[in-house]
């Protein structure tokens, strides 16, 4: 049955940024599809855990440093015995005019959004190879993987790079049965867009370009995430799927 290919029963997924927003929605969707879920967050993902129950395990880690990566992998394997799926969702954004943009704002965003993403992905891929099981990696990109944006040079650089390394790693790791894909959310009602949504003029400009006529929600991302994490996407590799209400098609 075709719906069986979308099942995640018996799989274990690591999802970073699990305490709110898109990460929380993906954790919930994976659990509903049958997976055990390890949510990685800087603060306790209490609400996410309450939604999911015993199939959820929270790892507290500050992803601004790659030093936490071995612990994330070790705790996942200790709890659920293996890892099958990684979603690199955690990310930060700093807004400042590019003429004034600071080195601190540059480094802090690139460390979380790109450096740790790459080395966590590498560590999980090594575990896939060790398990001889293949696996699924989903990188959360952005509309700014395709566009320049305004006042967010480090975020744009990081998300453009995420789309690029998604293709690179797919090229290298397909031979191991590892699928590496991305999701580029459109303008979503999350913590990262709170400033934009509170700016009446800017919010109206954004909404006027979205054919769907609304900001996206975590629910809108769930189907794409389950698809890319499941056997239904076994021949999809190196592609970044836009979930944007039609923004890029405008």
Average pLDDT of every residue of the chain = 96
Instruction: Report residue 132 as tokens.
Output: 């001889």
Alpha carbon of 226 to those of 21, 93, 229: distances in Å? 16, 26, 5
pLDDT-derived band of residue 125, with 50, 70 and 90 as boundaries?
Answer: very high
The DSSP call for residue 134 is -
Query: Under 8 Å CB-to-CB from 245, ≥6 apart: which residues?
Result: 186, 187, 210, 211, 212, 213, 214, 216, 220
The predicted pLDDT at position 195 comes to 80
- Examine the pLDDT at 193 and tell me if it is beyond 90: no
Give the residue-averaged pLDDT of 222-236: 98
Rounded to two decimals, the pTM is 0.96
Report the pLDDT value the prediction gives residue 3, as an integer from 0 to 100.
94
Comparing 44 with 202, the larger pLDDT belongs to 44
Q: Say how many Å lie between the first and final Cα of the chain, rounded.
A: 36
pLDDT at position 65 is 97
Give the CA angle between residues 118, 122, 128 to the nearest 5°.
Answer: 145
CA 57, 94, 120, 179: dihedral to nearest 10 degrees?
90
What pLDDT score does 84 carry?
A: 98
Residue 243: what are its φ and ψ, rounded to 5°?
-120, 85
pLDDT of residue 151: 95
**Cβ-based neighbours of 204, under 8 Å, separated by 6 or more:** none
For residues 182-191, average pLDDT: 92
Mean pLDDT of 93-108: 97
pLDDT band at 202 (very low <50, low <70, confident <90, very high): confident
Region 139-167: mean pLDDT is 97
For 24-65, the DSSP string reads: HHHHHHHHHTT-EEEEEESS--HHHHHHHGGGEEEEE--TTS
Residue 202's H or E segment, with its range, is helix 200-209
pLDDT digits (tens, 9 = 90+) for 109-118: 999 999 999 9
The yes-or-no answer on residue 176 being catalytic is no
Q: Is pLDDT at 192 greater than 80 in this prediction? A: no
User: How many residues are given for the chain?
Assistant: 250
Q: How far apart are the C-alpha atoms of 138 and 179, rounded to whole Å?
A: 8
Write out pLDDT tens, residues 171-185.
999 999 999 999 999
Q: What six digits make up the tokens of 31?
A: 């659990």
Confidence grade of residue 235 (pLDDT, cut at 50, 70, 90): very high
- Give the tokens for residue 241: 């799927």
For residue 191, pLDDT over 90 is answered with: no
Catalytic residue among 155, 176, 187, 235: 155
Whole-Å CA distances, 82 to 67, 101, 247: 21, 42, 38
Q: For the segment 55-79, what is each residue's pLDDT rounded down to a tens digit?
A: 999 999 999 999 999 999 999 999 9
pLDDT at site 108: 98
Q: Rounded to whole angstroms, how far apart are CA atoms 56 and 110? A: 28
Which tokens hold the place of 2?
Answer: 């075709």
What's the pLDDT score for residue 187?
A: 93
pLDDT above 90: percentage of residues in the chain: 92
């Amino acid at each position: 049955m075709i719906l069986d290919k979308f099942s995640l029963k018996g799989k274990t997924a690591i999802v970073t940024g699990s305490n709110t927003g898109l990460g929380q929605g993906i954790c919930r969707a994976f659990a509903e599809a049958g997976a055990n879920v390890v949510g990685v967050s800087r603060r306790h993902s209490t609400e996410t855990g309450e939604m999911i129950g015993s199939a959820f395990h929270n790892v507290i880690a500050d992803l601004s440093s790659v030093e936490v990566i071995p612990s994330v992998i070790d705790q996942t394997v200790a709890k659920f015995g293996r890892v099958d799926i990684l979603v690199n969702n955690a990310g930060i954004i700093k807004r400042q005019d590019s003429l004034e943009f600071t080195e601190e704002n540059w480094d802090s965003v690139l460390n979380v959004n790109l450096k740790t993403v790459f080395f966590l992905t590498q560590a999980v891929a090594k575990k896939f190879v060790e398990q001889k099981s293949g696996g699924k990696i989903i990188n959360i990109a952005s509309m700014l993987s395709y566009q320049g944006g305004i006042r967010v040079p480090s975020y744009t650089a990081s998300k453009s790079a995420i789309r690029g390394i998604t293709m690179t790693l797919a090229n290298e790791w397909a031979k191991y049965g590892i699928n590496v894909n991305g999701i580029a959310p459109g303008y979503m009602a999350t913590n990262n867009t709170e400033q934009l949504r509170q700016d009446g003029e800017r919010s109206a400009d954004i909404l006027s370009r979205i054919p769907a006529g609304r900001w996206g929600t975590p629910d809108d991302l769930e189907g794409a995430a389950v698809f890319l994490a499941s056997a239904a996407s076994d021949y999809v590799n190196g592609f970044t799927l836009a979930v944007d209400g039609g923004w890029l098609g405008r």
